Amino acid sequence: MLCAGPGGGSNDVQWCFSQVKGAIDDDVAEADIISTVEFNQSGELLATGDKGGRVVIFQQEQESKNKLQCRGEYNVYSTFQSHEPEFDYLKSLEIEEKINKIRWLPQKNAAHFLLSTNDKTIKLWKISERDKRPEGYNLKEEDGQYRDPNTVTTLRVPVFRPMDLMVEASPRRVFANAHTYHINSISVNSDCETYLSADDLRVNLWHLEITDRSFNIVDIKPANMEDLTEVITAAEFHPNQCNTFVYSSSKGTIRLCDMRAAALCDSHAKLFEEPEDPNNRSFFSEIISSISDVKFSHSGRYMMTRDYLSVKIWDLNMESRPVETYQVHEYLRSKLCSLYENDCIFDKFECCWNGNDSVVMTGSYNNFFRMFDRGYQQDMTLEASRENSKPRSVLKPRKVSTGGKRKKDEISVDSLDFNKKILHTAWHPLDNIIAVATTNNLYIFQDKLI
């Protein structure tokens, strides 16, 4: 499924620019910074959250035989303010409205449901369409004014008439006051009834219908906070087994837990950990081993973790080490001190699988993003930039020169722009369409259809 470059590879896929959403000007308002990207289960809807607490949902147009490309474009479907800034008066702390994660619920009826969360509160939103409205009321005028009942001489039955499509987003549930620390993950269970939310030290289990109660299933807070050595960085339910979930830690470990074993899953069923290479020991070893994202494969057999420099694929049946490791930007290893100074070393990159688990993708700096084809053992670096934004233009693979001599078209490590980072990427579950978020723009790429 992965393009090996023009003229190369046996399973050629060429990635082309499709669309870009967002403001063009370079002056980025902080509220517009994209903080999460997520396709729904059918891929028809693409949701983004930003630092300003807004959610923007794009919908793919129905395929049209008239257009050259057979895939529909993504257009804005709904925009709403999910979270507002809040103030915790007890602790004198401001609660950011930034959307940390969005997760779609499997669709059950005409409406769409998604969970969105900031640092403290999770909300269930219903996104529904209205394309008809009732007309012909007896006691109400068409403009809404009430009629004097004495003037009514005949009765009629109101009927539904078509109207312009209106997409409404309404908050159906608010799940609040369950997290002392900052929420980093939410994950919907395959039973479609429950979901988990994880903060730095705890994982809670919720029922989608019940907002005033949640069950704590993992608690790693030590009795004495001075003994704290690790925090939870991400958590996810298994895609098929409703009793299984994993959570990753800042120490580079992943724990798989079985909710059938005990009410409190502090003791893990499996512990996935790779021993540290002593040759790579540095001041920053702990930072770069911290896992920023964990994702199950669609099959449920594997899981992928992202740390600062690499992506690792784990087989759930083997805890001792990952089955595959891909270096995302190993050339940064010698730059860790500078990256620590400018805080880039704390960037939390996400990762994602393609629909059939054959390719994984993650972001990097300079608006580069990387794909790793597991089957063909090939990797590719592409760039999301306005310069490559001619419709259907094929993206040229990029290369960072690590040696002394820089070839033509290569970029030296020192020329990389570390302010342009791709932290969030998403892959359409059924098709070769990817959504890549730069700081404040959303790029949509798709494979070239002949």
Answer yes or no whether residue 204 interacts with other proteins by CB under 8 A. no
The residue assigned the tokens 């994660």 is 101
Q: Which range of residues in 58-66, 147-155, 337-345, 383-391 is near other proteins by CB under 8 A?
A: 337-345
| Sequence letter at residue 352 | C
CB of 408 to other proteins, least distance (A): 21
Question: With respect to other proteins, which residue has the nearer C-beta, 376 or 418?
Answer: 418
Q: Please, what is the minimum distance in Å from the beta carbon of residue 436 to other proteins?
A: 22
**Of positions 152, 166, 176, 228, contacts other proteins by CB under 8 A:** 228
Q: Which is nearer to other proteins, 59 or 184 (CB)?
A: 184
To other proteins, the closest distance from the beta carbon of 33 in angstroms equals 13
Contact between 28 and other proteins per CB under 8 A: no
Total count of residues recorded for the chain: 450
Tell whether residue 233 is a contact of other proteins (CB under 8 A): yes
- Give the integer Cα–Cα distance in Å for 230 and 450: 50
| Neighbouring-strand partners of residue 426 | 435
Note whether 80 binds other proteins by CB under 8 A: no
Q: Find the binding residues for other proteins in span 417-436 (CB under 8 A).
A: 417-418
For other proteins, the closer of residues 31 and 261 by Cβ is 31
Q: Pick one of 267, 342, 393, 402: the residue that binds other proteins (CB under 8 A).
A: 342
Q: Which of residues 111-140 bind other proteins (CB under 8 A)?
A: 119
Contact set for other proteins, span 257-286 (CB under 8 A): 282-286
Site for other proteins (CB under 8 A): how many residues? 39
Which residue is associated with the tokens 């009732």? 134
Among 126, 140, 172, 182, binds other proteins (CB under 8 A): 182
Cα–Cα distances (Å) from 386 to 19, 199, 275, 441, in that order, read 10, 36, 41, 10
Exposure of 331 by Cβ count < 10 A (0-12 exposed, 13-18 middle, 19+ buried)? Answer: middle
Residue 98 interacting with other proteins (CB under 8 A): yes
Nearest to other proteins of 142, 341 (CB atom): 341
The closest alpha carbon to 272, from 295, 291, 256, 292, belongs to 256
Per CB under 8 A, the segment of 207-215, 322-330, 412-420, 437-445 that binds other proteins is: 412-420
The neighbour count for residue 334, using CB atoms within 10 Å, is 11
Q: Which is nearer to other proteins, 13 or 336 (CB)?
A: 336
Is 177 among the residues that bind other proteins (CB under 8 A)?
Answer: no
Whether the Cβ atoms of residue 361 and residue 351 lie closer than 8 Å to each other = yes
Per CB under 8 A, 293 contacts other proteins: no
Instruction: List the one residue from 110, 341, 387, 404 that touches other proteins (CB under 8 A).
Output: 341
Distance of closest approach, residue 422 Cβ to other proteins, in angstroms = 17
Measured CA to CA, the distance from residue 399 to residue 381 in angstroms comes to 7
Regarding 340 and contact with other proteins (CB under 8 A), the answer is yes
Stretch that binds other proteins, among 15-23, 131-139, 203-211, 225-233 (CB under 8 A): 225-233
Residues lying near other proteins in the complex (CB under 8 A) are found at 91, 93-96, 98, 119, 181-182, 184, 200-201, 228-231, 233, 250, 282-287, 290, 334-335, 337-343, 346, 414, 416-418
